Amino acid sequence: MRIGELAARTGTSRRLLRYYEEQGLIVATRAANGYREYDDRFVDRVKQIRGLLDAGLPTRIIKQILPCLDKPRTIYFPDATPEMLATLERERDRMTERIEFLTRNRDAINEYLDVVRANRQPDVELEPAV
């Protein structure tokens, strides 16, 4: 597929797909006319990128993380340098922190919503038709 379809199927803009490529997150093949060409796997990959970006990770980090998330797990131990592994561990820990933090706060919001709804219920019922 070409860039327009990928954009539609991932809910991104063409501009961003080019940007992700520029940042080295995806590498499109090129047709003879210069058009970028993508296969289906890019759909998930782009969604993954969007999710990680939304979670607050910068492209620089995403670039390092992505190769480890490939589903067919082809490369077990690539040229993973010790620094690379250290980065991964550090990033994993930061993600764990984020998860815990988000969970705590989401639960607090939930609790708040519950309380508000409980206290609001009474005034929903007005005089029940005497």
Residue 32 as a binder of DNA (CB under 7 A): the answer is: yes
If DSSP codes are grouped into helix, strand and coil, which group holds residue 13? coil
Residue 36 as a binder of DNA (CB under 7 A): the answer is: yes
Binding site for its own copies (CB under 8 A): 48, 51-52, 54-56, 65, 68-69, 73, 76-77, 80, 85, 88-89, 91-92, 95-96, 98-99, 101-103, 105-106, 108-110, 112-113, 115-116, 119-120
Burial of 64 (C-beta count, 10 Å sphere; 0-12/13-18/19+): middle
Residue 5 as a binder of DNA (CB under 7 A): the answer is: yes
Q: Which is nearer to DNA, 19 or 112 (CB)?
A: 19
> What are the two backbone dihedrals, phi and then psi, of residue 60, each rounded to the nearest 5 degrees?
-55, -40
> What are the two backbone dihedrals, phi and then psi, of residue 81, each rounded to the nearest 5 degrees?
-75, 160
Helix ranges, the chain (H):
3-10, 14-22, 41-54, 59-65, 82-120
Residue 87's binding partner among DNA, its own copies, none (Cβ under 5 to 8 angstroms by kind) is none
Residue 48 as a binder of DNA (CB under 7 A): the answer is: no
Query: Cα separation of 92 and 97, whole Å?
Result: 9
Residue 2's binding partner among DNA, its own copies, none (Cβ under 5 to 8 angstroms by kind) is DNA
Interface residues toward DNA, by CB under 7 A:
2-5, 7, 12-16, 18-19, 23, 28, 32-36, 50, 53, 58-60
